[in-house]
Structure 1
Amino acid sequence: MALRVLIIDDHRDYRAWLGHHLAAAFPDAEIVGHNPLEDNLLPAGFEPAQWDLLFLDHQLGEQDGIDILEELKRRPGCPPVIFLTPQGDKTAIEQALRSGADDYLPKGPTDHAHIRRVTTQALDRPGRAPKPRAQALRPGSDSQFNLKGHRFLRSLGTGSTAAVYLMEKLSTERLVVVKVFRQVPDEVERFGPLQRFLQEYELVSGIRHPNVVNIHELGIADELAYIAMEYFAGGQLGERIGNGLPLGQALEIMMQITHALAAIHKVGVLHRDLKPANIMFRDDGSLALIDFGVAKLRDATIELSGLGEICGTPYYMSPEQGEGAEVDERSDIYSLGVVFHEMLTGRKPYLAGSPLAVIRKHAHAPLPVLPEALADCQPLLEGMMAKSPAARFASAETVLAEVEALNGRLLAEALQRP
């Protein structure tokens, strides 16, 4: 049976725009737009079970969309609901998720990949209001994780090493992301890597920097290690790259990332998994790095034997990390160079049919060459992506100085043009 999607919004152009993106993502879907101002708030004869997915605006004339959301969620058979929030309104997002929305979509600049991802994730889980209590779980199970002082809202994803949940901290009524790691080892000698991992995050939690994620809490509960951290309503960099970013925007992002790397390197922390999915945006446009030191918990020789969860990571690995050698700050700088290339071109510099083949290209293929229009960026890219660590920029501060100098030159040239 074809997917049935209902868009409840009083802006005709927005209904048409969203419907176009949904039709492109799901060609066989039946997509219906409903204007609540021309008819009832809900279509005549509306039965929730007849729909697979609902999009609901935050304001329907004089009616608050939250009230409609809560009424819908009380109905038997209510499908997943994606709430349409004002751009940058974090309070509206938090209120919608607390009221049972399965996800949200900001009514502002949003690309196709983001719409498709939000829609797919909502369809992959049943539409249900969050429950007031939760039970402990093993990462990857369908149960909920109970963390004292928090209310479970929904799962954000699971992998081989961790599960990620969206929760509400009851004392502040703010959303937090809780990452729950594998069961604490029973044997003392096997506890070492996990303990070092938590110690590394403890160092990060002491950093007060606008471009580093705020770590609210970390510890062990129900024999599971967890980290509670800042929630980012603006999504991740990978959703914004598309076919490439304007050079000025890419350089601004580079400056924020290098500030973050300098801050974590200063306390002795290496990122080891720098990629667009770990660069998150707040509503105000600022960004922050997340997911530090995760690579320490992985056995690369095992993980790389299949595509699985880590299939994205080899695209950003330095040659020395891919070969299992010791890494230092220059490995993060290499990964930053890969991200820079992708921001400028919309493409990863090295592609191949398997993760191991990608790793070999990082080690042996020629350095990527940017299009002629971006030739001014080539020296910066080569300084970050040199095959040998000794030939790379030595520190994040050095990269930052180079980025600022390039940005200054380009601005000066732009001002001189007639």
Structure 2
Amino acid sequence: MLKKPGSAEWAAILDAFDHLSALSSGREEAIAAMELLPEVEAGVRAMLATSEHSGVLDRPVALPEMGPTFDYASLAPDMIVGSFRVERLIGRGGSGEVYLAHRMRGDFDQRAALKMLRPEAASRFHRFEDERRMLGGLEHPGIARLIDGGIAPDGRPYMVLEYVEGSEITAWCAAERADLSTRLQLFLQLCDAVRYAHAQLIVHRDLKPGNILVDRTGRARLLDFGIAMLIDPLAFDRTATRALATPCYAAPEQLNGGKLSVATDIYSLGAVLYELLSGHDPWRFGEDDLWQTMLRRMLHEEPPAPSATAQDPNVTRTQIAGDLDAIVGKAMRRSPADRYTSVDALADDIRRHQALQPVAALSGSRAYRVRRLIRRNRWSLGAAAIITLVLLAGVGGTAWQARMAAEERDVARSEAARLEAVNQAMMQVFRDARDPARIKKMSATDLIDGTANRLAQSLPPESAESASIVAALADLHLMVENRSGARSLIEAAMARGIGRNDPPGAARLKLKLATVLVADRRFDEARRLLEAVDRFWQTDPRRFRREHVEAIGARAFMLRLEGKRDEGIALLMANMAEAERAYAGYDRDLATRYTNLVTHLSEAGRPDEALVIVRRGQAVLAGNEQQYSNGALNLMRLEAGLATRQGDLGAAAALLSKVVAERRARAGRSTALAVDLLRYARLLNLQGQPRKALQLLDEALPISAEHIGPETPATLLIELARADALSDLGRVENAERLLAAVLTRLEAQQPIDTTHAVSLLTRARLALVRRNVAGARAAMLGARSRFAQLGAAASVYHQDMKAMDDRLSRAVRTR
């Protein structure tokens, strides 16, 4: 029995066939002179026999029987190559061998993949060097990194690559029973790696599941650039790089000698996606398939839709049909010009599918099918039939565009109604604000509370606009952190029947109420509301995509408060692409989503990932010319918080200084400015600059009292920070009086929140100033206990706790 050919044997078969098919005589002598491997010779003979009959590739010729192979290793275990010790052979291809190896350092154990040129492939030395040079220029988390390279003692070149422990992507998906969402996320990671390679002018040319591993972290990693090609034609001689990709995933131009380009990789990506969706390769080649049949299908046909042949139990045919069928079909079209123009375009279509938006592949699929039908039957179809087909394709496209325009019009009308509701609510608030008798000694919270309740009571329940106005009024409550006001307002409105003639408006009210209930930790009630609105959003997913994204955010918030932070983070990360598309043009909402995800990651002790999201949000907002919007400044404030927790107080101070300056200039006396001033002043206290901190706090206090309320946590935290600054300035009695006043107001507040814990830190600070070490220690124990009860939400005070612990330790040593 003969070995079934692999990629190297396929290359040899086609090269030999090209040469021999041009000979009119002397083929047997030429075959003998070539000294072909038995499986290569058998394959060449089968192709030659087929080509001699009319109707090339139509006459069945059986493949020779294939038997087992016996690979050898040219390096023995424990051999030394460079600074690496060989452990064992882990792979063998057409021209190379790959060994598992370890770096030879006493205090540093690094596993690596050592790739050697096989002894019998010495003629491919320059190709091996090309691969090493290309890998040396690639730095991407989705591509195995080049570590080292050189010439082995026996004169062969070698390269050392990052060793990726993992499973082939299709095997991993099967073993993990991965759902459709997980598979698409892995595919998007793969697309990002290929896109990066293309940006470096490199076409991979052998994309297949065997070259894509999923590592221990669940990330897709791209391997083996052994037959990659530089897009730059002057980089090196292409005639030395005619190795063939694995046929099942190879583009037609790789099989027929056509021009290779980025479209070649796009075809292979489509084939990989096909297998991820359906559970098998696009052509379903088996052991009994005939070579000529395989080649004919790949060169002259297109694969069936993956939904038609799907057999993976974890992805249903219904999930694949439609968008994903069209996306795979466009990526795998025989003509490179008919495929996606770039990997980005392919990835964008996947994201559009995830975001429930119309995919580009469908917009041209009907016209594409009509063109193919006309090409196939151009002599049998009459002119009238061709014109009819073209008109039908045009009418279909126009109907689709009209339907999309109607849907966008409905969304626009809904948004216009919502904005008009906001305008009405704000106008009422401003009318009340012009009445001096009403605003005297009233905070913004009180003003909004009275105005909102009065306006809500006047709204007619049967009006379709009433629900939108109530939602806008609830947003005003939430803007000044008055959750109880928002909850009472929505519950009273719903009890009056507001929204009964406006199902979308009623669903939005329920979603807003669910968000408030989550913040109040009334999870069961919130969960019931979220389940109800989710069912409603599914009645028209495209129209309600923003609401669906908001519901995802509420669920993630609930998971965070339930202590399931990693689940909440996973939910937000999986939904990020959909959120970016749903919130396109709504930068405030988009910035809020970034802010929420950064907060989740930060509290989970994942600062590096949090910083990546900060940078991503800043880049998106800057691209929309919103780099100094409130949302962007909030992200900058979070970036400062990350720097503080990492101990880089200087970087944090520089960021907060910029945030405060921009907020003053753009928002004036606002809630956000009060919060920024507090954060910056706390940091200055940590840095030993109490005088400057006190100046900022004196600015923040009246703003917070006016815009948020004098008894709110934000205002009380500002007063506690003032007490800290006064203490460090030696104005101890003033600080003690201020602390006592805050504690009196806190006694009436339940439940215990961050303010109670921070007040104990201030008490410890004052005790140390009075040289009362025992009192300071007791206060610190209390603070630690309170912060522990608060969980991850208290992580922003980590540096404050550390600073007070250091002070207490110094006081104990100097007693």
Q: TM-score, normalised by structure 2?
A: 0.31
Partner of residue 391, structure 1: 338
* Among 312, 317, 325, the residue aligned to 2:258: 325
Q: Tell whether the 8 Å contact from 1:317 to 1:359 is kept in structure 2 after alignment.
A: no
Equivalent position SS for 1:284: coil
Partner of residue 277, structure 1: 210
> How far 1:414 moved relative to its partner?
8.8
Paired letter, 1:234: G
Query: In angstroms, what is the RMSD of aligned CA positions?
Result: 3.2
Residues 1:256 and 2:203 are matched in the alignment:
no
Partner of residue 167, structure 2: 235
In structure 1, stretches of 5+ residues that fail to align are 1-123, 126-137, 304-309
> How far 1:359 moved relative to its partner?
3.3
* Among 180, 203, 220, the residue aligned to 2:116: 180
| Cα 1:268–1:359 shift into 2, 3 Å | farther
| Cα 1:194–1:357 shift into 2, 3 Å | farther
Partner of residue 163, structure 1: 97
| Cα 1:251–1:185 shift into 2, 3 Å | closer
> How far 1:200 moved relative to its partner?
3.9
Equivalent position SS for 1:344: helix
Deviation digits for residues 21-73 of structure 1, max 9, x if unmatched? xxxxxxxxxxxxxxxxxxxxxxxxxxxxxxxxxxxxxxxxxxxxxxxxxxxxx
Paired letter, 2:170: G
Paired with 1:289 and 1:174, the residues of 2 have a C-alpha distance of 20
Q: Tell whether the 8 Å contact from 1:315 to 1:359 is kept in structure 2 after alignment.
A: no
Paired with 2:186 and 2:101, the residues of 1 have a C-alpha distance of 28
Equivalent position SS for 1:208: coil
> How far 1:413 moved relative to its partner?
9.1
Deviation digits for residues 127-184 of structure 1, max 9, x if unmatched? xxxxxxxxxxx97446345312112211113344111100011233111011111349
> How far 1:394 moved relative to its partner?
1.2
- The aligned runs of 1:45-64 (5 Å cut-off) are none
> How far 1:415 moved relative to its partner?
8.7
Partner of residue 486, structure 2: none
Q: Tell whether the 8 Å contact from 2:76 to 2:88 is kept in structure 1 after alignment.
A: no
Q: Tell whether the 8 Å contact from 2:112 to 2:161 is kept in structure 1 after alignment.
A: yes
Deviation digits for residues 49-104 of structure 1, max 9, x if unmatched? xxxxxxxxxxxxxxxxxxxxxxxxxxxxxxxxxxxxxxxxxxxxxxxxxxxxxxxx
Paired with 2:83 and 2:75, the residues of 1 have a C-alpha distance of 21
Paired with 1:209 and 1:315, the residues of 2 have a C-alpha distance of 27
> How far 1:198 moved relative to its partner?
2.0
Residues 1:400 and 2:350 are matched in the alignment:
no
Residues 1:151 and 2:151 are matched in the alignment:
no
Q: Tell whether the 8 Å contact from 1:139 to 1:182 is kept in structure 2 after alignment.
A: no
- The aligned runs of 1:319-398 (5 Å cut-off) are 319-352=252-285, 353-355=289-291, 357-371=293-307, 372-373=317-318, 374-375=320-321, 376-398=323-345
Equivalent position SS for 1:409: coil
| Cα 1:159–1:261 shift into 2, 3 Å | closer
Q: Tell whether the 8 Å contact from 2:207 to 2:268 is kept in structure 1 after alignment.
A: yes
Paired with 1:356 and 1:232, the residues of 2 have a C-alpha distance of 37
| Cα 1:414–1:287 shift into 2, 3 Å | farther
Equivalent position SS for 2:306: coil
Q: Tell whether the 8 Å contact from 2:166 to 2:216 is kept in structure 1 after alignment.
A: yes
Paired with 1:194 and 1:355, the residues of 2 have a C-alpha distance of 31
What is the aligned length? 268
Q: Tell whether the 8 Å contact from 2:127 to 2:241 is kept in structure 1 after alignment.
A: no
Paired with 1:249 and 1:328, the residues of 2 have a C-alpha distance of 29
- The aligned runs of 1:287-298 (5 Å cut-off) are 287-294=220-227
- The aligned runs of 1:195-274 (5 Å cut-off) are 195-221=126-152, 222-242=154-174, 245-274=178-207
- The aligned runs of 1:134-145 (5 Å cut-off) are 140-141=73-74, 143-144=76-77, 145=79
Paired with 1:414 and 1:195, the residues of 2 have a C-alpha distance of 61
Q: TM-score, normalised by structure 1?
A: 0.57
Q: Tell whether the 8 Å contact from 1:200 to 1:293 is kept in structure 2 after alignment.
A: yes
Q: Tell whether the 8 Å contact from 2:205 to 2:264 is kept in structure 1 after alignment.
A: yes
Flag the structure with more relative contact order, 1 or 2, with Cα contacts below 8 A and sequence separation at least 6.
1
> How far 1:282 moved relative to its partner?
2.1
Q: Tell whether the 8 Å contact from 1:320 to 1:331 is kept in structure 2 after alignment.
A: yes
Percent sequence identity is 27
Select between 206-215 and 239-248 the one with higher mean Cα deviation.
239-248
Paired letter, 1:151: R
Q: Tell whether the 8 Å contact from 1:246 to 1:344 is kept in structure 2 after alignment.
A: no
Partner of residue 537, structure 2: 416
> How far 1:197 moved relative to its partner?
4.0
Rg larger for? 2
Paired letter, 1:268: L
Paired with 1:211 and 1:200, the residues of 2 have a C-alpha distance of 17
Paired letter, 2:275: E
Q: Tell whether the 8 Å contact from 1:139 to 1:180 is kept in structure 2 after alignment.
A: no
| Cα 1:332–1:355 shift into 2, 3 Å | farther
Equivalent position SS for 1:387: coil
> How far 1:354 moved relative to its partner?
4.3
Equivalent position SS for 2:160: strand
Paired letter, 2:218: G
Paired with 1:204 and 1:343, the residues of 2 have a C-alpha distance of 27
Paired letter, 1:364: H
> How far 1:363 moved relative to its partner?
1.7
More helix per residue? 2
| Cα 1:173–1:354 shift into 2, 3 Å | farther
